[in-house]
Amino acid sequence: MRILACFFVIFNHTGTRGFFLFSLYEKSSIQFWVYLIISIFCKFSVPLFFMISGALMLNRPPEPLRKLWYKRILRIFLVLLFWSFFYYIVQLYQEKWDFDIKTFILKLYDSNWNGSFWYLYAYIPMLMTLPFLQKFAKSMDKQDFIYLIILVFGFSSLLPIMQYVLWQGRHNLNGNFRIAWLCSNIFLYPCTGYFLENDLKNFWSKKRILILWLFNIVTISLSAYMTYLKSNVTGVLDESNSQDFYNTFVLINSIAIFVTCKWLVEKCKIPRWLERVIVSMGGGDLWNLLVTYFYNGYNKRLMGAFLR
């Protein structure tokens, strides 16, 4: 799962060479729709990271707060601090700025030094609230989790589509009539990962997984159609303004990937050498964070400067 998530996080940052390649083709062409669907599909990657964390961490005995802060939170904060400083130094070199530690700290505090670091900013609060998430997840039964998924599906998936089809963005649900805390990355996906790992462990069969994937394909196609519809309504199709419906059904997509990976590992015989490779590549949380976020920030100008 980590290998897949890392790969598609990197793909998410490939611009018109991959992620936004569909925009170079006519909307009536097959290439437009194929590349658009791939771009929407890749959005499972970050939610999958959170689901993995939930599956592995929410069922553990609570850790002392001192250990939680020292072993987990401080470690990730140091990753954020190191790579933020790295990008600050690169920007100093590129923009010919004078070194100013105040500028670095303020942007580290109120923004970020690389857009892809938002995940680290979200992951740290998830770790801070880990004791509450553990108690919350363990106290919920199967019916509670199903109700949670239904609520999120209604508010985050069906409602945005209905609103746009009816009013093209002119009217949206009152902001106070929302369940944003349930839909947040640091709550929904860790709890879903815990639920799939512990409460639905023996639920999935080949037939049920096939049904899940058929539903997933339908919802991804619907997200692609809504992206197409919005581009026709607004007349705009650029990378920053065309992703409103990319994550509309990402919960379904993430569940399909999680369940399929678990089923394949449990049901299919993997050669011993390949198993060792997979475990080695997916085993280091910190290493994965470093590799993923270093390559997310990759660009020719940055790398060219250091290679010279």
pLDDT digit string, tens, across residues 153-193: 999 999 999 999 999 988 899 988 989 999 999 999 999 99
Q: Percentage of residues in the chain with pLDDT exceeding 70?
A: 92
The model's pTM is 0.86
The yes-or-no verdict on residue 236 having pLDDT over 90 is no
Mean pLDDT of 222-248: 90
Contact assessment for residue 254 and residue 185, using Cβ atoms and an 8 Å cutoff: no
The yes-or-no verdict on residue 298 having pLDDT over 50 is no
How many CB atoms sit inside 10 A of residue 214's CB?
11
Q: Which two tokens stand for residue 73?
A: 């939170």
Identify the CA nearest to 212 among candidates 259, 270, 180: 259
Q: Give alpha helix (H) positions in the chain.
A: 2-11, 30-41, 45-57, 65-67, 74-95, 101-110, 118-128, 130-139, 142-152, 159-167, 180-183, 185-198, 206-234, 250-267, 272-282, 285-296, 300-307
Q: Please, which pLDDT band fits residue 284 given cuts at 50, 70 and 90?
A: low
Q: Which two tokens stand for residue 145?
A: 């989790």
Question: What's residue 270's pLDDT?
Answer: 81
When the pLDDT of each residue in the chain is averaged and rounded to a whole number, the result is 88
Mean pLDDT of 42-63: 94
What is the C-alpha to C-alpha distance for residues 206 and 42, in angstroms, rounded to an integer? 23
Question: What's residue 255's pLDDT?
Answer: 97
Question: What's residue 147's pLDDT?
Answer: 95
What is the C-alpha to C-alpha distance for residues 260 and 212, in angstroms, rounded to an integer? 10
The yes-or-no verdict on residue 70 having pLDDT over 70 is yes
What is the C-alpha to C-alpha distance for residues 227 and 21, in angstroms, rounded to an integer? 14
Mean pLDDT of 66-74: 92
What is the C-alpha to C-alpha distance for residues 190 and 47, in angstroms, rounded to an integer? 8
Cα 245 to its chain centre, rounded Å, is: 14
What is the C-alpha to C-alpha distance for residues 41 and 224, in angstroms, rounded to an integer? 10
Question: What's residue 267's pLDDT?
Answer: 84
What is the C-alpha to C-alpha distance for residues 81 and 62, in angstroms, rounded to an integer? 27
The yes-or-no verdict on residue 69 having pLDDT over 70 is yes
What is the C-alpha to C-alpha distance for residues 118 and 130, in angstroms, rounded to an integer? 19
The yes-or-no verdict on residue 30 having pLDDT over 70 is yes
Identify the CA nearest to 22 among candidates 279, 246, 276: 246
The yes-or-no verdict on residue 293 having pLDDT over 70 is no
Question: What's residue 169's pLDDT?
Answer: 84
Question: What's residue 97's pLDDT?
Answer: 87
Q: Which two tokens stand for residue 40?
A: 């929407």
The yes-or-no verdict on residue 228 having pLDDT over 90 is yes
Question: What's residue 299's pLDDT?
Answer: 47
Question: What's residue 39's pLDDT?
Answer: 95
Which of 45-49, 75-79, 92-96 shows the lowest mean pLDDT across its residues?
92-96
